[in-house]
């Protein structure tokens, strides 16, 4: 591998929730383990969240109705998800993965991109580092993973899916287009049922067939996502692995030009600040768990107060309601108001899956 080229890993834990349950209860090893709804409760409503590879052999898949899963695999062990456990494991894994990369981007509860360009100088180096990470995941967490190595994110992601479970797939540098050519279009992240059908309609089922379609056509078909997709199929997608920091808090304040005596005007200003704040949170895919207000009266007397919730949210209505109830505590204050502010804290980044192209097809 020539120097100065990018090396991106996509790491994805195998059958994440199910593997954690098997690890914590070794008697489940080798059995079809299904995480999801209880097939015997609620008349078999609900779905399979995930399942072990043994259950996948029986045809079970994420999203399948639990009643159908039970018909296909009555001998399976059906367990309810234990999210707090999975989140704790995820956090430890992500901390470890992030420490093994130059840049790090978590993209789901059990998957992440690592830019390791400065840490490897050959395909052998890259594979050795990936093997080492896989081994560490087994040693410290008792979990197997699949890693794809490529010069860009989309090819790394496709590669990591190719030889699951416990896979390690390297796409040679400069050979991404050749690697992708024989694969079905459905391996591309974001190409779901609708996009597949749209392409199928045009007799396109393999990536090689997409590679001969002019870029202009892609844009006609998929709008600005067509530019990205064209880059993906030609191995030229070069989107950075980006570890976006989650800010501690975000706020929106207004100092009035003229001190405000009429309290409803203060509330109205706070509402528009809340709207602006939620817009900014959404732009950064952020959710809050605490909303606070700040109010300053003439004479610089300043108060802050806040309210926390049990769940994260990005809901505007909840912000407005909270701002109203917090500000009401100052309604009978005698002095005029100089400044009002709204603040969101205890933030987290919403976990995002690759965006779907289906909406555009
Ligand atoms: P995935 O990585 O897609 O699935 P997986 O880890 O179970 O299996 P594999 O990677 O080996 O194919 O998702 C990670 C976890 O996210 C999964 O264990 C359960 C959860 N999940 C959902 O909650 N809903 C879903 O639709 C999917 C696909 C996964
Ligand atoms: Mg996984």
pLDDT tens, position by position, 205-222: 999 999 999 999 999 999
Q: Find the 361 Cα to ligand 2 centroid distance in Å.
A: 27
Query: In terms of domains, do 186 and 306 share one?
Result: no
Query: In terms of domains, do 285 and 210 share one?
Result: no
The residue whose CA is least distant from atom 21 of ligand 1 is 49
Tell me: the pLDDT tens digits for 186-197? 999 989 999 999
Query: In terms of domains, do 23 and 144 share one?
Result: yes
Last-in-domain residue among 241, 270, 295:
241
What pTM was estimated for this model as a whole? 0.72
Name the residue among 31, 359, 358 with its Cα closest to residue 185: 358
Q: Can you tell me the distance from the alpha carbon of 223 to that of 229, in angstroms, rounded to the nearest whole number?
A: 10
Last-in-domain residue among 190, 219, 241:
241
Q: Name the E strands within 86-199.
A: 103-106, 111-115, 145-150, 168-170
Query: In terms of domains, do 146 and 20 share one?
Result: yes
Higher pLDDT, 334 or 353: 334
Tell me: the pLDDT tens digits for 55-108? 999 999 999 999 999 999 999 999 999 999 999 999 999 989 998 998 899 999
User: What is the total count of domains within the chain?
Assistant: 3
The residue whose CA is least distant from atom 16 of ligand 1 is 109
228 is in which domain, residue-wise? 179-241
217 occurs within a structural domain? yes
Query: In terms of domains, do 310 and 277 share one?
Result: yes
Residue 307 to residues 297, 319, 320, 342, 344, Cα–Cα distance (Å): 21, 10, 12, 12, 10
Burial class (CB in 10 A: 0-12, 13-18, 19+), 100: middle
Q: Find the 216 Cα to ligand 2 centroid distance in Å.
A: 35
Q: Can you tell me the distance from the alpha carbon of 133 to that of 42, in angstroms, rounded to the nearest whole number?
A: 42
The CATH number of the domain holding residue 137 is 3.40.1170.60
257 occurs within a structural domain? yes
Give me the active site residues, please.
Answer: 111
163 occurs within a structural domain? no
Q: Which ligand is nearest to the CA of 189?
A: 1
Name the residue among 149, 163, 162, 161 with its Cα closest to residue 115: 149
The residue whose CA is least distant from atom 22 of ligand 1 is 49
- Token pair recorded at residue 235: 């191995």
DSSP character at residue 187: G
Last-in-domain residue among 193, 223, 241:
241
Q: Which ligand is nearest to the CA of 167?
A: 1
């Amino acid at each position: 591998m020539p120097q100065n080229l990018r090396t991106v890993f996509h790491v994805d834990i195998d059958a994440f929730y199910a593997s954690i349950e098997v690890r914590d209860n070794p008697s489940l090893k080798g059995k079809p383990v299904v995480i999801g709804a209880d097939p015997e409760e609620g008349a078999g409503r609900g779905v399979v969240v995930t399942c072990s590879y043994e259950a996948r052999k029986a045809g079970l898949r994420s999203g399948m109705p639990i009643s159908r899963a039970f018909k296909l695999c009555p001998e399976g062990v059906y367990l309810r998800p234990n999210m707090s456990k999975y989140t704790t494991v995820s956090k430890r894994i992500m901390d470890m993965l992030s420490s093994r990369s130059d840049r790090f981007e978590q993209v789901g509860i059990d998957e992440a991109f690592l830019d390791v360009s400065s840490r490897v100088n050959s395909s052998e180096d890259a594979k050795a580092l990936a093997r080492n990470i896989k081994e560490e995941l087994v040693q410290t967490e008792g979990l197997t993973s699949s890693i794809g190595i490529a010069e860009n994110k989309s090819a790394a992601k496709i590669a990591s899916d190719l030889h699951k479970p416990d896979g390690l797939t390297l796409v040679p540098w400069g050979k991404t287009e050749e690697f992708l050519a024989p694969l079905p279009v459905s391996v591309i992240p974001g190409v779901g049922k609708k996009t597949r059908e749209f392409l199928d309609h045009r007799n396109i089922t393999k990536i090689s067939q997409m590679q001969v379609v002019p870029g202009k056509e892609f844009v006609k078909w998929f709008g600005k996502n067509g530019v990205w997709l064209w880059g993906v199929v030609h191995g030229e997608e070069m989107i950075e692995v980006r570890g976006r920091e989650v800010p501690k808090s975000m706020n929106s304040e207004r100092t009035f030009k003229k001190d405000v005596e009429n309290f409803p005007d203060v509330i109205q200003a706070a509402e528009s600040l809340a709207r602006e704040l939620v817009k900014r949170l959404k732009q950064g895919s952020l959710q809050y768990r605490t909303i606070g207000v700040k109010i300053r009266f003439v004479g610089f007397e300043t108060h802050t107060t806040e309210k926390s919730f049990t769940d994260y949210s990005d809901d505007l209505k909840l912000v407005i309601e909270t701002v109203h109830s917090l500000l009401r505590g100052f309604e009978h204050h005698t002095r005029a108001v100089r400044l009002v502010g709204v603040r969101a804290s205890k933030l987290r980044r919403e976990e995002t899956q690759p965006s779907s192209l289906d909406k555009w097809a």
